Structure 1
């Protein structure tokens, strides 16, 4: 409402609304120093100035001039007053955000800022009072809190991100950007459950199907290895109203890079993208090139590269490096050099990634002289400050049997004090192991452990291989305990190294427990190794464990060699485990020789087990066998068929402690049966913990799927 200048009664204005003050209001306000010797202006936050004025209402102040004397820039209307108020509020909000971000106790700072409502600041002026009632009652708005949330996220302060978001939910101060940012950062912190829970709790359907929120959720799931669930959720939220954009498809395509059959799945997404009328951009093409490179598809990568150029899109360094990476699969140096020449003619200057990838092409193509020249060029450009280019050349030299040259390059690295994360040690230790230089490998392994306190799975496997080849049980045990301490989970290579080592040392019970752990974690078992293991377990007086290995192998591989079933049947018959033998015979009768089947039938009849006799006779008859009663009672099928001696070893050997997946090996101090029960109990608790976490994720995902 406009008030005439003649009738308007304007009370004393606070200092921050004074026309003399308004022109200098910024993020912080300059006040002249009282010290004449100090000519610099003191900077104090605008909000502090406002508070000090409110706290001392009786402080002397000059009476404001009449409204007609207001500066023309603000005028004498509500519009001018509103501009003044906006200036002060913006300054106050910036100061509040800075205070919360910079506080060591941000929660207290946030509560303090929120509690200090500034609506009383403007009561001195009718203009400001009217305007302020139309604005928020607190200093920080949702967008300000989002700024703080992103600040915590970029600083990887995951706990603060989670606590701030919970505070925002409690005070009903969230919007689309809040959910999008929070879910994204939960994905980066690998806290999938928290992200899924946040999405599941969204009641506003417009936010649930918002493309920014959904993109963050899909990206979060992909970062946590949930590709299949991600695609399923994507299909469901599309039905619920999501309109995917290029970012959506780019996110999903990035998930195809490391999954099985990723290329075919990527093509399906590209087809869907085109059917929706979306045009592929340079980011999509870059992702497709990376997918082709990861799947060793050079021709397909070239096709996308030329298609991109035909559509008028200019390739950047990322596109060139991705195609170069595809050429490195088979070391196609000729095409790589043509591509680099084309890149330079387009005005692009090769960077560290391009030159390092070109070097990768050279070493895989066997052009070691050119690789050395390129390494020198990288060094001159300052691109060889870390170990990556050295390791590329060193690794391929070692794999081509040129271990001495690789070692010389390794020594050069050390002389130049090249920054290393230990990968160069891993290459040289493996090279020494392959070439039979075990003492050199051990020496280098000890040097690494003395110099570095940083381990990853690759380095652990390299050191394990070195110590296992040397038969150094003490260091093997120490490494396994270190895996436990650092919570590094074993992979397929770790299991294979340990199983072969325990087998070589005739520690068959340890090998068996390692196979059990390997199977429980879902890794593919080696058929030849497991077959040898079950025979030696039977020889050492552990037929039940041998049958367990047989079952794990059967469920892991599906189809086994015919001879394995027959060997297992004879082991079980010799151990008088006829119930298990019947299972093997019934399921695989066509894979077992008639002689072994009749041998089983004869021994079963002599056992006097009348409970299963009808089933056994029926199964044998179905297999076309007759039961012979002339079997010599002293004949042991295992000894007569496979020449396995009656020697036993390692009945009570050391056992593998699997508190977190074969991370530690400790000597046995309990009788075998008691120890086995303890191990089974520990493993059961471990499995229950893992299943609980999986169930929690699946439960939330199920709720989301159901609700959509």
Structure 2
């Protein structure tokens, strides 16, 4: 029988016996020889009012023995796993040169098996031994990183991440997201900053790219305070933030509804000598629009224009819809006309949205006029296919 199953059965049996004896109205004493041998499980009656302490006195040695046996089995199992991993390592080293692809597949499957069993320490030892022999298998590392993240093992996750960064090069977004997920339950800010600095040092001279992606990943995982913590420590990493850094932070704050902080950070960005770009202004406008701060939308829309940053079709569409839904059809129409004056070809969605807005506002004649303009311009309007091509 499986030793771990035996341990479970033994613990359940001991627990049931303990409960039965506690319910007895008669008190008991036991011979220590019976406790050791467990050959005779029939208690000897004796009237003493200390059932609980008697039961504890009886079962402590039993449970200790069971737990001791389990620990011994667990230790032996870990040694067996390590022995199997060493044997597997030797097999991979022997076959990799002649069959690298099949060796990688076997390694991926074996690491997946170890992760599923929760034996992550053996998995990382195996992969690092392969790495030391100039065999690096990114997919196996990714599997291990996902497993470490699921178990919130911060130290192991950063070890895996650093190996991937050094030996594999540019990492996928999934790697960054798994790293962020691993940190979900940690409150040790000092350790977190130390880990991120280590990553930054390894990533030089591309460390700012990596830091930006770590900040983005924390934001995607709704770990806003950790994203801000890393952002505020950038100079301590020997790095300089850039426009991408600020755009990322603005979006994280905006999506969290913290638009006042977003605006303050935007001000700090300009004071630091950074020139906002198209993405910066669109981030501000989108997040302010979502919380109904249309007055500020107009301020930043005008600032965008004054700075020489031209809004695009999507910017106009969102602004027109926002003002239209708020009942400010006058501003919606002004933006619509401004868009056409800039030679920005309207989309069919803007026309339909504007027609619907005007009808709801009771401006039926104007809605009909816009509708006729839409119908006469249909061949030249942007549609769904145009947006799909643009995204590609």
TM-score normalized by the length of structure 2 = 0.51
Match of 2:305 in 1: 274
* Equivalent in 157, 161, 186 of residue 110 of structure 1: 157
Give the superposition deviation at 1:166. 5.8
Aligned equivalents of 2:273 and 2:109: distance in 1? 44
Give the superposition deviation at 1:183. 4.1
Match of 2:273 in 1: 241
Kept after mapping to 2: 8 A contact 1:296/1:329: no
Aligned equivalents of 1:111 and 1:259: distance in 2? 37
Equivalences for residues 529-548 of structure 1 within 5 A: none
Cα pair distance change 1:314/1:111, threshold 3 Å? same
Give the superposition deviation at 1:313. 3.3
Match of 1:338 in 2: 372
Give the superposition deviation at 1:227. 2.6
Cα distance per residue 1:77-97 (max 9 Å; x no partner) = xxxxxxxx7xx64xx234312
Match of 1:553 in 2: none
Match of 2:106 in 1: 44
Give the superposition deviation at 1:218. 1.4
Give the superposition deviation at 1:216. 1.7
* Equivalent in 247, 254, 262 of residue 215 of structure 1: 247
2:99 aligned with 1:99: no
Secondary structure at the aligned position of 2:235 is classed as: coil
2:297 aligned with 1:297: no
Cα distance per residue 1:105-135 (max 9 Å; x no partner) = 36386377479x79xxxxxxxxxxxxxxxxx
Cα distance per residue 1:341-398 (max 9 Å; x no partner) = 35744466689xxxxxxxxxxxxxxxxxxxxxxxxxxxxxxxxxxxxxxxxxxxxxxx
2:184 aligned with 1:159: yes
Equivalences for residues 551-590 of structure 1 within 5 A: none
Match of 1:171 in 2: 198
Unpaired segments ≥5 residues, structure 2:
1-92, 112-125, 386-392
Secondary structure at the aligned position of 2:327 is classed as: coil
Match of 1:438 in 2: none
Give the superposition deviation at 1:316. 3.8
Equivalences for residues 368-379 of structure 1 within 5 A: none
Equivalences for residues 49-448 of structure 1 within 5 A: 89=136, 92-101=137-146, 104-105=150-151, 107=153, 110=157, 113=160, 139=167, 143-144=170-171, 147-150=174-177, 159=184, 168-169=195-196, 171-173=198-200, 175-184=207-216, 186-187=218-219, 192-203=224-235, 207=239, 209-258=241-290, 262-263=294-295, 265-316=296-347, 319-320=350-351, 322-324=353-355, 326-331=357-362, 332=364, 334-335=368-369, 337-338=371-372, 341=375, 344-346=378-380
Aligned equivalents of 1:205 and 1:289: distance in 2? 43
Give the superposition deviation at 1:158. 8.0
Give the superposition deviation at 1:336. 6.3
Kept after mapping to 2: 8 A contact 1:146/1:178: no
Aligned equivalents of 1:110 and 1:189: distance in 2? 16
Kept after mapping to 1: 8 A contact 2:289/2:322: yes
Give the superposition deviation at 1:170. 5.8
Kept after mapping to 2: 8 A contact 1:97/1:144: no
Secondary structure at the aligned position of 2:102 is classed as: strand
Kept after mapping to 1: 8 A contact 2:108/2:139: no
TM-score normalized by the length of structure 1 = 0.31
Aligned equivalents of 2:186 and 2:355: distance in 1? 39
Aligned equivalents of 1:250 and 1:349: distance in 2? 21
Structure index of larger Rg? 1
Kept after mapping to 2: 8 A contact 1:327/1:336: no
Unpaired segments ≥5 residues, structure 1:
1-13, 32-41, 56-84, 119-135, 352-708
More helix by share: 2
Aligned equivalents of 1:335 and 1:252: distance in 2? 33
Cα pair distance change 1:99/1:47, threshold 3 Å? same
Kept after mapping to 1: 8 A contact 2:351/2:370: no
Kept after mapping to 2: 8 A contact 1:202/1:208: yes
Give the superposition deviation at 1:185. 5.2
Aligned equivalents of 1:43 and 1:288: distance in 2? 51
Give the superposition deviation at 1:215. 1.1
Kept after mapping to 1: 8 A contact 2:347/2:381: no
Give the superposition deviation at 1:186. 5.0
Kept after mapping to 1: 8 A contact 2:320/2:336: yes
Kept after mapping to 1: 8 A contact 2:161/2:179: no
Secondary structure at the aligned position of 1:44 is classed as: helix
Match of 1:668 in 2: none
Cα distance per residue 1:57-95 (max 9 Å; x no partner) = xxxxxxxxxxxxxxxxxxxxxxxxxxxx7xx64xx2343
Give the superposition deviation at 1:303. 3.4
Give the superposition deviation at 1:235. 1.6
Aligned equivalents of 2:208 and 2:359: distance in 1? 43
Give the superposition deviation at 1:252. 0.9
Secondary structure at the aligned position of 2:171 is classed as: helix
Aligned equivalents of 1:288 and 1:200: distance in 2? 32
